[in-house]
């Protein structure tokens, strides 16, 4: 599915003080998304090296001055954001207020997050750590949370390596890979190196970034060691090739650990920052890695036995499919801006007849029997001619035609509007339910001021529709008296 006329505006920062993690994973995401979207990468005061890295990835770069983040949000909103942009944020300075400002033009918002420190207004949150529960996040009802390695933000060489992994459980065990992040401001690289027996390995390969400030102390530690090699500023291709050659690794509990899992091997992890807690626990609990602090000094025979199980788990969780999953998220988010809505006309009669008789629609209808054409004709003409019925069609613009997506209807009874909707089978499972409701309510309120509230009845068994009403800010009404429809829930949207 190609989404047209939509741009992704990526916003992240990176430097020697805060590290490069946010920028690296945003670049990985942008590289995936640019297949179907135009992209721009906004960053405060990027270094020349980082600017080159962004432009070499095929992205337009917007260099922002250092400033107060709330002021920055207003500047971005008023100067750089287009009406249909998807804004993508990765960082801990993009607070609830920052998000609120950027959504003033009704743009879609995606947040990459691993700390859940404030309330989110985003349409989607992506947290690559596994076993993250919904309750961890304070978010809007419409916000969808995507978690786990199936949404890992990995660069292309690592995704390809995961798809084509070929490593026996004992290969290259004597080659050790060490990476504590590109900047490693606390110098975990030297701390780790001081704790290992260098003679146990044929080769030790250490990877640091250009902003690593502790090269002098590192050189003192490895001065006498002929088998220790330091690599600086490796490309993704060079990094993945080196990982393939090293059957053992010590990494920070960050994206680099996920990257190494794509190669597969005996992985030991170190938590080097607070924001790594979720990922650290997940890697250990799921048997993808071992704790460097607790496991590294054990007998090699014991570690070799564990390595085979680690390889199986790593292959299970990292199969190279995360790029497809991430692109699908953006396609779904972009649909909100692409959807158009109009009133139903006589030419829609056959379309609505086919939709109404779809087996899945009939399964959740209060009268599950198929609808006869004559009955439908009478009903349809009554609805489009009535002053108290409002029937709309959602569609996507196609090549000289419309692509029908859904219908929504409002019937005013005793001052309240009864709402119902259905989605074409080709567009189900894309998270559109609450979008149809939100947009439908918006257009209905623009054209009608008579209703005091909007009511929806949903069968208990129709879980997806219940969730859609809740995400669209409808409230579930506890009822004591029997409802007009059996085995149903009653939802209300109060009109102020």
Q: Is 189 left (phi over 0), alpha (psi -120 to 50) or beta?
A: alpha
Establish if 64 belongs to a structural domain: yes
pTM for the structure as a whole: 0.83
- b/e map 363-400, b = 16+ CB within 10 Å: eebeeeeebeeeebeeebeebeeeeebbbbbbbbeeee
Establish if 168 belongs to a structural domain: yes
Establish if 431 belongs to a structural domain: yes
Instruction: Check which CATH number belongs to the domain holding 475 and give it.
Output: 3.40.630.30
Q: How many domains does the chain have?
A: 3
DSSP codes of every residue in 116-170: --S-B--SEEEE-SSS--GGG--B-TT-EEEESGGG----HHHHHHHHT----TT
Establish if 102 belongs to a structural domain: yes
Asked whether 290 and 269 are in contact (CB, 8 A), the reply is yes
Q: Which of 135, 154, 173 is the last residue of a domain?
A: 154
What values do phi and psi take at 494, rounded to 5? -80, 135
Gap between the Cα atoms of 99 and 110, Å rounded = 10
Residue 133: Cβ within 10 Å count: 8
Establish if 343 belongs to a structural domain: yes
Establish if 59 belongs to a structural domain: yes
Residues 149 and 169 grouped into a single domain: no
Asked whether 461 and 487 are in contact (CB, 8 A), the reply is yes
Residues 244 and 181 grouped into a single domain: yes
Instruction: Check which CATH number belongs to the domain holding 271 and give it.
Output: 3.40.50.2000
Establish if 333 belongs to a structural domain: no
- b/e map 276-287, b = 16+ CB within 10 Å: bebbbebbbebe
Instruction: Check which CATH number belongs to the domain holding 123 and give it.
Output: 3.40.50.11190
Residues 240 and 266 grouped into a single domain: yes
Residues 396 and 383 grouped into a single domain: yes
Gap between the Cα atoms of 251 and 179, Å rounded = 5
Residues 13 and 89 grouped into a single domain: yes
Residues 146 and 229 grouped into a single domain: no
Long-range Cβ contact pairs of 227-234 (< 8 A, separation 24 or more): 227/198, 227/201, 227/202, 227/203, 228/193, 228/198, 228/203, 228/204, 229/203, 229/204, 229/205, 230/206, 231/205, 231/206, 231/207, 232/207, 232/208, 233/49, 233/209, 234/207
Residues 305 and 364 grouped into a single domain: no
Residues 239 and 382 grouped into a single domain: no
Residues 275 and 349 grouped into a single domain: no
Residues 291 and 434 grouped into a single domain: no
pLDDT (tens, 9 = 90+) of the chain, 496 residues, equals: 444 558 999 999 987 777 778 998 999 999 999 989 999 999 999 988 889 889 988 899 999 999 899 999 999 999 999 888 999 999 999 999 999 999 998 899 999 999 999 999 999 999 999 989 889 999 988 898 999 999 999 999 999 999 987 654 445 788 999 999 888 889 999 999 999 887 788 999 999 987 788 988 898 888 877 889 999 989 999 999 999 999 999 999 999 999 999 999 999 999 998 889 999 999 999 999 999 999 887 666 677 778 889 999 999 999 999 999 999 999 889 888 889 999 999 999 999 999 999 999 998 888 889 999 999 999 999 999 999 999 999 999 877 789 999 999 999 998 899 999 999 999 998 888 998 999 999 899 988 767 889 999 999 889 999 999 998 989 999 877 777 777 889 999 988 6
Domain range for residue 425? 339-494
Residues 378 and 262 grouped into a single domain: no
What values do phi and psi take at 88, rounded to 5? -120, 125
Residues 125 and 168 grouped into a single domain: no
Query: Using CB atoms within 10 A of its CB, is residue 130 exposed (0-12), middle (13-18) or buried (19+)?
Result: buried
């Amino acid at each position: 599915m190609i989404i047209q006329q939509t741009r992704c505006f990526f916003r992240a920062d990176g430097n020697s003080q805060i590290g490069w993690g946010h920028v690296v994973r945003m670049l990985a995401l942008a590289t995936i998304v640019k297949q179907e979207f135009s992209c721009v990468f906004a960053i405060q005061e990027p270094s020349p090296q980082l600017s080159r890295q962004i432009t070499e990835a095929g992205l337009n770069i917007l260099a922002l001055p250092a400033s107060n983040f709330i002021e920055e949000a207003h500047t971005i909103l008023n100067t750089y954001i287009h009406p249909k942009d998807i804004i993508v944020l990765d960082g801990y300075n993009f607070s609830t207020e920052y998000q609120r400002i950027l959504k003033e033009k009704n743009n879609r918002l995606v947040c990459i997050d691993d700390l859940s420190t404030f309330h989110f207004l985003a349409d989607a949150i992506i947290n690559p750590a596994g076993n993250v529960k919904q309750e961890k996040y304070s978010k809007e009802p419409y916000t969808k949370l995507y978690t786990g390695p199936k949404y890992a933000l990995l660069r292309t060489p690592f995704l390809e390596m995961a798809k084509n992994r070929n490593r026996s459980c004992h290969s290259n065990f004597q080659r050790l890979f060490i990476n504590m992040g590109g900047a490693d401001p606390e110098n975990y690289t030297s701390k780790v190196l001081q704790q290992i027996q260098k003679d146990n390995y044929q080769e030790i390969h250490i990877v640091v970034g250009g902003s690593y400030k502790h090269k002098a102390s590192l050189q003192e530690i490895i001065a006498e060691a002929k088998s220790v090699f330091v690599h600086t500023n490796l490309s993704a291709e060079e990094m993945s090739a080196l990982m393939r050659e090293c059957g053992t690794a010590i990494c920070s509990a960050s994206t680099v650990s996920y990257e190494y899992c794509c190669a597969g091997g005996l992985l030991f992890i170190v938590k080097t920052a607070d924001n790594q807690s979720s990922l650290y626990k997940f890697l250990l609990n799921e048997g993808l890695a071992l704790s460097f602090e607790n496991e590294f000094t054990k007998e090699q025979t014991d570690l070799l036995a564990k390595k085979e199980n680690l390889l199986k788990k790593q292959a299970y969780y990292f199969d190279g499919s995360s790029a497809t999953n991430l692109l699908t998220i953006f396609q779904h988010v972009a649909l909100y801006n692409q959807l158009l809505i109009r009133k139903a006309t006589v030419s829609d009669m056959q379309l609505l007849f086919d939709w109404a008789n779809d087996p899945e629609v009939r399964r959740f209808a209060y009268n599950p029997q198929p609808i006869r054409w004559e009955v439908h004709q009478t009903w349809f003409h009554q609805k489009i001619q009535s002053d108290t019925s409002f029937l709309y069609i959602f569609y996507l613009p196609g090549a000289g035609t419309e692509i029908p997506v859904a219908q929504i209807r409002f019937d005013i009874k005793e001052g309240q509007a009864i709402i119902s909707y259905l989605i074409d089978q080709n567009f189900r499972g894309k998270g559109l339910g609450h979008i149809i409701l939100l947009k439908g309510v918006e257009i209905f309120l623009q054209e009608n001021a008579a209703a005091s509230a909007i009511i929806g009845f949903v069968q208990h068994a129709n879980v997806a529709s219940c969730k859609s009403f809740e995400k669209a800010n409808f409230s579930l009404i506890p009822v004591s008296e029997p409802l007009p429809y059996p085995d149903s829930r009653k939802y209300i949207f109060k009109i102020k």
